[in-house]
């Protein structure tokens, strides 16, 4: 392709359903568009019939497609043979964040663009947010961020977890607990520099504005989490989450570059 096509994220389940309902597969699977997708392609991108668009499934696959009659896309490759198929990034990067009072959408958007693979919202003792978080809206934000930054693997957004039992459970991951006001606390960057676990899940947990409760911190440290600092200043939880995401993504990129150099 002379230039990168604008992308539309369609779930694997929906792609499979469209293929199963399409009687004319020889000419390419037809994918009916939802109203928001039609608005995005026709009104925002100003696409016209016959214009190309890239379809991604959020699981590593990419197909090219053409707009037909403003209401559907026709894939140009078989569903089982996409134009591009990328393996899932390793190690998996996980960001656990105490439910923020504000900036939640911004955190998920920025962390998606930086390359985080899984998000775990936590109900910590000192969280201010009340009621059920807007998960449907957060899913939309993550989808839009995937399309914008052209990543092929969509991050997983889990249902909110209670922080204390979640931190107390040893799930086999490499876990770093961001905290403050502890003398001689090693930085996340230094901990990552010593970490060599290419197949592990690497998690950073960020507490609420008021910090982790003593019980939450004790539970985490007792189950193998390692306390780390994100710097000498006291950050808002959203800022801390983005700072952690930057360091995680940079560390993984450095590891992949190092591994590639060894193979060559």
Q: For 145, what's the count of Cα atoms within 13 Å in the CB-facing half-sphere?
A: 23
Q: What is the pLDDT of residue 249?
A: 96
Residue 107 within any structural domain of the chain: yes
Lowest mean pLDDT among 43-47, 90-94, 115-119, 222-226: 43-47
- Model confidence at 199, pLDDT cuts 50, 70, 90, reads confident
Residue 33 within any structural domain of the chain: yes
Same-domain check for residues 96 and 155:
yes
Same-domain check for residues 78 and 146:
no
pLDDT at 167 over 50: yes
Residue 237 within any structural domain of the chain: yes
Q: Please give the Cα distance from 72 to 65 (Å, whole number).
A: 10
Identify the domain boundary among 85, 103, 120: 85
**What is the pLDDT averaged over residues 242-258?**
91
Q: For 66, what's the count of Cα atoms within 13 Å in the CB-facing half-sphere?
A: 9
Which of 183, 178, 189 is closest to 211 using CA atoms? 178
DSSP 175-239: EEEE--S-TTPPBHHHHHHT---TTSEEEEEE--TT---HHHHHHHHHTT-EEEBS-SS---HHH
Q: Please give the Cα distance from 177 to 224 (Å, whole number).
A: 10
pLDDT digits 0-9 by tens, 112-137: 999 999 999 999 999 877 678 899 99
- From the CB of residue 174, how many other CB atoms can be counted at a distance below 10 Å? 18
Q: Note whether 105 and 73 are within 8 A (CB).
A: no
Residue 241 within any structural domain of the chain: yes
Same-domain check for residues 66 and 159:
no
- Model confidence at 10, pLDDT cuts 50, 70, 90, reads very high
- From the CB of residue 89, how many other CB atoms can be counted at a distance below 10 Å? 17
Same-domain check for residues 179 and 51:
no
- Model confidence at 184, pLDDT cuts 50, 70, 90, reads confident
Q: What is the pLDDT of residue 1?
A: 39
Q: What is the pLDDT of residue 20?
A: 83
Same-domain check for residues 117 and 238:
yes
**What is the pLDDT averaged over residues 44-67?**
94
Using CB atoms within 10 A of its CB, is residue 201 exposed (0-12), middle (13-18) or buried (19+)? middle
Same-domain check for residues 174 and 77:
no
Task: Pick 200 or 58 by higher pLDDT.
Answer: 58
Q: What is the pLDDT of residue 34?
A: 93
- Model confidence at 256, pLDDT cuts 50, 70, 90, reads confident
Q: What is the pLDDT of residue 210?
A: 87
Mention every residue, 6+ apart, whose C-beta is less than 8 A from residue 98: 121, 122, 123, 124, 126, 127, 163, 206, 207, 208, 237
Residue 47 phi/psi, 5-degree rounding, is -75, 150
pLDDT at 24 over 70: no
Q: What percent of the chain has pLDDT over 90?
A: 72
Q: What is the pLDDT of residue 255?
A: 84
As for how many domains the chain has, the answer is: 2
Same-domain check for residues 75 and 107:
no
Residue 1 within any structural domain of the chain: no
Across the chain, what does the average pLDDT equal? 90
Identify the domain boundary among 57, 85, 113: 85
Strand, helix or coil at 121?
strand
Identify the domain boundary among 37, 56, 85: 85
Q: What is the pLDDT of residue 25?
A: 54
pLDDT at 5 over 60: yes
Looking up residue 124, the CATH number of its domain turns out to be: 3.40.1280.10
Rg (CA), the chain: 21
Same-domain check for residues 115 and 187:
yes
Alpha helices in 7-123, H assignment, sequence order: 12-21, 35-38, 104-114
7-19 burial, b if ≥16 CB within 10 A, otherwise e?
Answer: bbbbeeeebeebb
Residue 2 within any structural domain of the chain: no
Which structural domain range is residue 69 located in?
A: 7-85
Q: Note whether 26 and 75 are within 8 A (CB).
A: no
Using alpha carbons only, what angle is made at residue 11 by residues 151 and 134, rounded to the nearest 5 degrees? Answer: 85
Same-domain check for residues 54 and 106:
no
Same-domain check for residues 114 and 244:
yes
Same-domain check for residues 236 and 258:
yes
Residue 170 within any structural domain of the chain: yes
Looking up residue 63, the CATH number of its domain turns out to be: 2.40.240.20
Same-domain check for residues 158 and 133:
yes
């Amino acid at each position: 392709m002379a230039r990168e096509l604008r992308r539309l994220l369609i779930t694997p389940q929906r792609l499979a359903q469209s293929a199963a309902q399409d009687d004319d597969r020889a000419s390419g699977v037809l994918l009916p568009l939802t109203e928001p997708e039609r608005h995005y392609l026709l009104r925002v991108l100003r696409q016209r019939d016959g214009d190309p668009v890239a379809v991604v499934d959020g699981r590593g696959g990419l197909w090219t497609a053409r707009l037909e009659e403003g209401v559907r896309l026709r894939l140009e490759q078989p569903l089982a043979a996409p134009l591009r198929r990328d393996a899932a990034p390793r190690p998996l990067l996980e960001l656990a964040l105490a439910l923020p009072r504000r900036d939640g959408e911004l955190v998920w958007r920025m962390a998606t663009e930086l390359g985080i693979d899984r998000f775990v919202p936590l109900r910590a003792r000192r969280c201010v947010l009340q009621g059920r978080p807007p998960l449907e809206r957060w899913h939309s934000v993550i989808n839009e961020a995937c399309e914008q930054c052209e990543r092929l693997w969509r991050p997983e957004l889990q249902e909110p977890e209670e922080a204390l039992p979640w931190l107390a459970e040893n799930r086999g991951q490499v876990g770093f607990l961001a905290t403050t006001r502890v003398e001689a606390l090693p930085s996340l960057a230094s901990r990552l520099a010593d970490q060599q676990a290419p197949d592990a899940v690497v998690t950073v947990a960020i507490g609420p504005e008021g910090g982790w409760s003593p019980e939450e911190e004790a539970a985490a440290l007792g189950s193998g989490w390692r306390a780390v600092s994100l710097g000498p200043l006291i950050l808002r939880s959203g800022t801390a989450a983005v700072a952690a995401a930057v360091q995680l993504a940079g560390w993984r990129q450095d590891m992949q570059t190092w591994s590639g150099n060894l193979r060559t």
